[in-house]
Copies of this chain bind each other. A is one copy, B any other.
Amino acid sequence: MNCLVTGGSGFIGKNLVKRLNQNGHIVKIYDRKEGNDILDLGKLINEMEGCNTVFHLAARADLRSNTGEPYYVYENNTVGTANVLEAMRRNKVKRIVFASSGSVYGEPNVFPTPEDAPFPKQTSIYAASKLAGEGLIQAYQEAFGIQGYIFRFVSNVGEHYSHGHVLDFYKKLKANPEEIQILGNGKQRKSYVYVGDTIEAIMTALQTTSGGVFNLGTDEYCNVFESLGYISERMGIKDLHIKTETNERGWVGDSPFIYLDCKKLNNLGWYPKLTIRQGIERTIDYFKEIGL
């Protein structure tokens, strides 16, 4: 493949680029950390020349920025995706892998949630921007013969993890190993997947299908107390006092339960190799390795 990876300097991007390089693919990174702007359509068109596959991972990913700068998050993610697709159309690039999110299901009634769950109601700006991206990819697929691989991720953990509750908890526990304050009542249940398994899932779908929508997660979930337990134990902390809030959600738009049905990917032969606990432990080990 001759690939462009938007967000190639981000958490999942770094892992993906490493894997693509190992497999001998030509890889170009398009990332704001490298001075590239996803809102600059002209530049995107130029940079995409010669590519045959785009991995579109670039996004403002912090769900908790929901209420602060909604317009900014939405513009970056939605117009960003529109720009990527338009640059693909102009360059006749026919394949896109898109990092969507399990949060597009809003607060579903069906668990584990399958890809064809009932038409969801959006609960966060971030998820709404991902849903918008999905729809636009599908429309370009229909109109211009683009192959779209849409992955609805649960939260990823592992090497190069850069934001989210595992890092937040790690930093807080380093500062104070005796007591920690968590967002919400701690009963929020989430599924997590190891980023190495995510990359493997993407490669499997690329090799065995011509596109589609794929849930990407593990067949388990844990609540905040459990994941905090994995983190603190790996850090060697005992006797931790946990302070909770009373609200069911950690922040506006936080989904109290995320657990995806991943049979579609499993039927392609992909299964995650790491459990949630193992993925989180590897994340903590990574923090230690880089001296965090």
Q: How far is the CA of A70 from the CA of B74 in the complex (A)?
A: 19
Minimal Cβ-Cβ distance residue in B for A136:
B128
Tell me if A67 counts as interface (CB < 8 A to partner B): yes
Tell me if A224 counts as interface (CB < 8 A to partner B): no
Binds B, one of A14-22, A138-146, A161-169: A138-146
**Closest chain B CB from A269 CB (angstroms):** 24
Q: How far is the CA of A49 from the CA of B146 in the complex (A)?
A: 43
**Closest chain B CB from A141 CB (angstroms):** 9
**Closest chain B CB from A98 CB (angstroms):** 13
Minimal Cβ-Cβ distance residue in B for A87:
B71
Minimal Cβ-Cβ distance residue in B for A72:
B86
Tell me if A115 counts as interface (CB < 8 A to partner B): yes
Residues of B contacting A125 in the complex (Cβ-Cβ under 8 angstroms)? 136, 139-140, 143
Residues of chain A in range 67-85 having any CB-CB distance to chain B below 8 Å = 67, 70-71, 74-75, 78-79, 82, 85
Q: Check B139–A122 contact: CB distance below 8 A.
A: yes
Q: How far is the CA of A131 from the CA of B134 in the complex (A)?
A: 10
Residues of B contacting A140 in the complex (Cβ-Cβ under 8 angstroms)? 70, 125
Number of copies: 2
Minimal Cβ-Cβ distance residue in B for A106:
B138
Residues of B contacting A78 in the complex (Cβ-Cβ under 8 angstroms)? 78-79, 82, 132
Q: How far is the CA of A174 from the CA of B264 in the complex (A)?
A: 53
* Chain A count of residues within 8 A CB distance of the other chain: 42
Q: Check A252–B142 contact: CB distance below 8 A.
A: yes
Tell me if A253 counts as interface (CB < 8 A to partner B): yes
Tell me if A66 counts as interface (CB < 8 A to partner B): yes
**Closest chain B CB from A145 CB (angstroms):** 10
Q: Check A124–B142 contact: CB distance below 8 A.
A: yes
Minimal Cβ-Cβ distance residue in B for A90:
B71
Tell me if A116 counts as interface (CB < 8 A to partner B): yes
Q: How far is the CA of A133 from the CA of B121 in the complex (A)?
A: 12
Q: Check B138–A123 contact: CB distance below 8 A.
A: yes
**Closest chain B CB from A102 CB (angstroms):** 12
Tell me if A135 counts as interface (CB < 8 A to partner B): yes
Tell me if A50 counts as interface (CB < 8 A to partner B): no
11 A-B contact pairs sorted by A residue (CB < 8 Å): A66-B143, A70-B86, A70-B139, A75-B82, A122-B134, A122-B142, A123-B139, A124-B143, A128-B136, A129-B135, A129-B136
B-contacting residues of A (Cβ < 8 Å)? 66-67, 70-71, 74-75, 78-79, 82, 85-86, 89, 105-106, 115-125, 127-129, 131-132, 134-136, 138-140, 142-144, 213, 252-253
Q: In the complex, given contacts A105-B119, A125-B139, what are 15 additional A-B residue pairs having Cβ atoms less than 8 angstroms apart? A: A67-B143, A70-B89, A117-B118, A122-B142, A123-B138, A123-B142, A124-B142, A125-B140, A125-B143, A127-B139, A128-B132, A128-B135, A131-B131, A131-B132, A131-B135
